[in-house]
């Protein structure tokens, strides 16, 4: 997971707060139950995202020459391969 536990909690809280603020959303469960469910869903989805990250890194590692991480070239390739993986999700 590329997000810390604290950040994940913050993200879940922010999303739940947003949902609660919308007039056209009805909560069928308690606020805390929904926040915890959002957190669980995010955790699940972000575990999947980790695979995109790994796939992008693997593609860079499989290049003929070594491209050190953190260099501009690495960043550009990472961005490109990562987005290719994102597209596979059907976005």
Q: Which is nearer to another protein, 58 or 71 (CB)?
A: 71
Rule CB under 8 A: say whether 32 interacts with another protein: no
**Residues 86, 88, 91: CA angle, nearest 5 degrees:** 60
In whole angstroms, how close is the CB of 53 to another protein at the nearest point? Answer: 9
Q: Which is nearer to another protein, 42 or 58 (CB)?
A: 42
Rule CB under 8 A: say whether 76 interacts with another protein: yes
* Residues contacting residue 78 through CB under 8 Å, at least 6 positions apart: 56, 57, 60
Rule CB under 8 A: say whether 10 interacts with another protein: yes
Rule CB under 8 A: say whether 63 interacts with another protein: no
d(CA 58, CA 56): 5
d(CA 88, CA 6): 29
In whole angstroms, how close is the CB of 85 to another protein at the nearest point? Answer: 9
Structure tokens at 38: 């959002």
């Amino acid at each position: 997971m590329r997000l810390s536990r604290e950040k994940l909690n913050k993200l879940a809280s922010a999303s739940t707060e947003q949902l609660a603020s919308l007039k056209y959303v009805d909560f069928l469960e308690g606020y805390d139950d929904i926040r915890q469910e959002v957190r669980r869903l995010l955790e699940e989805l972000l575990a999947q995202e980790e695979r995109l990250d790994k796939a992008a890194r693997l593609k860079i590692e499989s290049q003929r020459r070594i491209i050190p991480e953190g260099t501009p070239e690495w960043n550009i390739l990472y961005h490109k391969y990562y987005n290719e993986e994102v597209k596979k999700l059907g976005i």
